[in-house]
Each structure stands twice: as C-alpha cells, then as structure tokens.
C-alpha cells in the first residue's frame, strides 16, 4: 500500500509496481508536478483525495481491477483532460472530478449505478454527457457550474433530480426529464439560461423552490396534472415566459412563483391560463395578471394555500 507522498512538488513521473494493491487516502495530495502515472491492474482501491490537486496530471487510466472511484480522488486536477473508466466500476464518489476544468468529455460505462454529490461540479469545459441506465438519482450539485454543458442524456431509470443538480449550466439547450422522475429539487435548473422549453413529467407532485429560477431563455413549460404545488420563485426571472397553463390539480402557488422578473417587477402582459375558481385564478387576481379560463372549465373551489416547500 502506498500511504502518503503528499506535497512532493518535484515529483513528476510515478511508476507503481504490480505488488501494490491499494493507494491510500491523500497519497499524492498536492503533488502538483506529477505529469504521468501508470496504475497497474493489481490496484483494487484508491483512497479519498488520493490525487487531489495534482494539477500537472493530464490523463489517467483506471485499471479493470477497480470497482469504485472514491470521493474527491481527482478533485482539482485542473489539467486532467482524459480519463478512461473501465466497465468494472460501479460507483463514482462525491466530488470525484470537482473542478477538473480541462475535462471536456467523459464516458461513463453502463456498469456505473451511482454517481455522488458534486461529482462533476465546476467541470467548466464539460460539453456533453450520457448517464447510464441504472442510475436512479442525479444527486445534489452533480453538474453544478458546468457552464459548457450543452446536452445531457438521462435514462428512464432516473427517479430523482437533486437540488442544484444543474445549477448554472447556462449552455444547456435542451433536456428531457425522464418520465419516471418523481422529484426535482430546489434550484435544480437555476440559471440554465439556454433552456427554451421544458416538460415536467407526470408523477412530479411539486415544483420546488427556485427550480427554474433565472431561466431567461424559457418560453414554454408544460405542467402535468400530478403537480399540486408550485413553490416560491420556481420560475422567477424567466423573462421570456409570457404565459403558462396551470392545471386544476395545483392547489397551492407560492409567492413570486412565476410572472416576475428582476427586482420583483412583473413580466409585461403575463397571462395565466387555467380553470375558474382554481389556485391559478386566485394567483392571477392576487398578483394582477391576466387570467383566461381554459375551455370546458370544471367546478373547482380550491383556494390559494401555502405548500410547505422543504
């Protein structure tokens, strides 16, 4: 086992012998001079933050003997632009590739079943990624600040999109939220300014606080009958969203949920379509927005009540 060689700034090339089976936590922590490293097939485990801030490292191949990439292993490896992950790997830990700002693409093998919180946070050059089938949750902050991310493919196995999952992914132009998704966390798509349309899948029961805050490119949104509540500032500062249809399943709409732009000013001529007597009409009346009753309105005596958005 390699225990620790951290802070060896003059260390440039590492040859690890076949006798090594484990690389300990923080083993090469802050070894900024490392340019190349070869991991033998004998290595079965790499500890947390083992290569943290090895800023000179540009590429690495994970051996087939490994089944997981631990938390923060390659965090802050700012020149890492190529990594090969074998089919033997089933999990990618939290912050594994945090601030790997030179990484523009990565192939996640189909064997991977879990990706930890903030795994690709602030990988500012990452342009596209495909999530393998079997992943059930896009965890908190997984792609936080990936400002070059233009496309992402999520499989039908995904059931949850965590808070801040795509926070400030400003280049994201289109995203299909899988039909099996049941929850979308706070600030999940905050400042995804490139998004123009979004469809909330049937099964989601609330749109969380600031979920689509400052999505200034958003022009249309489809809300299904499964949604019962829209939380505070869910679509705040969506300046180009000029109208919205709210189904009568929605019984609670929080303050500034939609129709407002910077400084709590109203979007010009914002129009709400819905059923008379619904929470949609109550929100329109209380906020001074245009309201147009949908065709064949149904009797609905629900009133505007606060939903606990936590």
pLDDT (tens digit, 9 = 90+) per residue, 110-128?
999 999 999 999 999 999 9
| In contact, 99 and 125? CB cutoff 8 Å | no
Say how far apart CA 57 and CA 167 lie, in whole Å: 27
Split at pLDDT 50, 70, 90, the class of 7 is: low
For the chain, what is the largest distance between any 2 Cα atoms, rounded to a whole number of angstroms? 75
| In contact, 50 and 73? CB cutoff 8 Å | yes
**Lowest pLDDT segment from 172-176, 182-186, 210-214, 224-228:** 172-176
**Lowest pLDDT segment from 54-63, 131-140, 300-309:** 300-309
Whole-number pLDDT of residue 44: 95
Q: What is the mean pLDDT of residues 33-39?
A: 88
**Domain extents in the chain:** 1-91
- The yes-or-no verdict on residue 303 having pLDDT over 60 is no
| In contact, 284 and 272? CB cutoff 8 Å | yes
| In contact, 89 and 65? CB cutoff 8 Å | no
pLDDT (tens digit, 9 = 90+) per residue, 147-160?
999 999 999 999 99
Strand pairing report for 265-266 and 260-261: antiparallel
Residue with the two structure tokens 């709400």: 272
Which pair of structure tokens corresponds to residue 92? 């990618």
How is domain 1-91 classified at the architecture level of CATH? Alpha-Beta Horseshoe (3.80)
Strands (E), 58-112: 59-61, 68-69, 82-84, 91-92
Q: What contacts 90, CB < 8 A, 6 or more positions away?
A: 67, 68, 111, 112, 113, 114
| In contact, 125 and 148? CB cutoff 8 Å | yes
Which pair of structure tokens corresponds to residue 82? 């190529």
- The yes-or-no verdict on residue 309 having pLDDT over 50 is no
pLDDT (tens digit, 9 = 90+) per residue, 228-276?
999 999 999 999 999 999 999 999 999 999 999 998 999 999 999 999 9
Percentages helix, strand, coil for the chain (3-state, rounded to 5) are 5, 20, 75
95: alpha, beta or left? (left if phi > 0; alpha if psi -120 to 50):
left
Split at pLDDT 50, 70, 90, the class of 294 is: confident
Residue 17: count of CB within 10 angstroms of its CB: 7
């Amino acid at each position: 086992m390699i225990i620790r060689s951290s802070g060896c700034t003059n260390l440039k090339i590492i040859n690890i012998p076949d006798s090594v089976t484990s690389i300990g936590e923080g083993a090469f922590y802050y070894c900024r001079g490392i340019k190349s490293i070869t991991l033998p097939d004998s290595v079965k485990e790499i500890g947390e933050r083992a290569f943290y801030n090895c800023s000179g490292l540009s590429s690495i191949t994970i051996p087939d003997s490994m089944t997981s990439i631990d938390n923060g292993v390659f965090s802050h490896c700012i020149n890492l632009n190529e990594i090969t992950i074998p089919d033997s790997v089933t999990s990618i830990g939290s912050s594994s590739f945090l601030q790997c700002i030179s990484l523009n693409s990565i192939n996640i093998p189909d064997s991977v079943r879990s990706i930890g919180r903030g795994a690709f946070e602030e990988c500012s050059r990452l342009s596209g990624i495909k999530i393998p089938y079997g992943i059930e949750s896009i965890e908190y902050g997984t792609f936080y600040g990936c400002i070059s991310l233009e496309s992402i493919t999520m499989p039908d196995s995904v059931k949850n999109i965590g808070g801040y999952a795509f926070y400030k992914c400003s280049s994201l132009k289109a995203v299909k939220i899988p039909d099996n998704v049941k929850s979308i966390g706070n600030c999940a798509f905050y400042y995804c300014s490139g998004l123009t349309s979004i469809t909330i899948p049937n099964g989601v029961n609330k749109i969380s606080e600031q979920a689509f805050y400052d999505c200034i490119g958003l022009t249309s949104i489809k809300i299904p009958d499964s949604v019962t509540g829209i939380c505070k500032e869910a679509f705040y500062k969506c300046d180009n969203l000029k109208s919205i249809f709210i189904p009568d399943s929605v019984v609670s709409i929080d303050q500034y949920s939609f129709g407002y732009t910077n400084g709590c000013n109203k979007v010009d001529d914002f129009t709400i379509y819905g059923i008379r007597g619904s929470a949609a009409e109550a929100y329109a009346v209380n906020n001074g927005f245009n309201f147009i009753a949908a065709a064949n309105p149904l009797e609905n005596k629900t009133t505007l009540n606060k939903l606990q958005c936590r």
